[in-house]
């Protein structure tokens, strides 16, 4: 009985390891396509923010620097209130002293 359990564990372990090998190969094959996918996902999220009025116009560019290294550049066109709202969400504690100068 104990041998049967050990065989099952070894079969499942070998199945998992072989699956991981296949997935790792697939990742390395499709990795050069990642900048396009990153740009598409970033544009989708930015469109949600634009439709919600959080940001104005935007432009995103993703450049592959090396294997699994990317530069993501996002250019935003913001109004004053949008900039304050965005900065207050990014740096909430740092802007407490400056917040009184801006009226929402």
Task: Kindly report, residue by residue over 29-63, the tens digit of the pLDDT.
Answer: 777 888 888 899 899 988 988 898 888 899 999 99
More confident residue, 88 or 6: 88
Is pLDDT of 71 > 90? Answer: yes
Q: Which among 54, 45, 49, 51 has a CA at the least distance from the CA of 82?
A: 54
Confidence of residue 9 (pLDDT cuts 50, 70, 90): low
Predicted confidence at residue 7, as pLDDT, reads 56
**Contact assessment for residue 66 and residue 34, using Cβ atoms and an 8 Å cutoff:** no
Which two three-digit tokens encode residue 21? 């090998």
Predicted TM-score of the model (pTM) = 0.58
Task: Please write down the HEC assignment for all residues of 23-56.
Answer: HHHHHHHHHHHHHHHHHHHHHHHHHHHHHCCCCC
Q: Percentage of the chain surpassing pLDDT 90? A: 12
What number of residues does the chain have? 104
Residue 20 three-state SS: helix
Confidence of residue 102 (pLDDT cuts 50, 70, 90): low
Characterize 50-75 residue by residue with b for buried, 16 or more Cβ atoms within 10 angstroms of its Cβ, and e for exposed: beeeebeebebebebeeeeeeeeeee
Predicted confidence at residue 52, as pLDDT, reads 86
């Amino acid at each position: 009985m104990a041998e049967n359990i050990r065989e099952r564990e070894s079969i499942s372990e070998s199945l998992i390891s072989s699956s991981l090998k296949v997935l790792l190969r697939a990742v390395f094959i499709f990795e050069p396509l990642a900048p396009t996918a990153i740009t598409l996902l970033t544009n989708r999220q930015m469109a949600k923010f634009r439709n919600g009025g959080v940001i104005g116009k935007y432009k995103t560019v993703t450049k592959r620097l090396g294997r699994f290294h990317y530069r993501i550049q996002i250019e935003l066109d913001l109004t004053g209130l949008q900039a304050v709202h965005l900065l207050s969400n990014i740096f909430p504690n740092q802007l407490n002293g400056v917040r009184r100068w801006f009226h929402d």
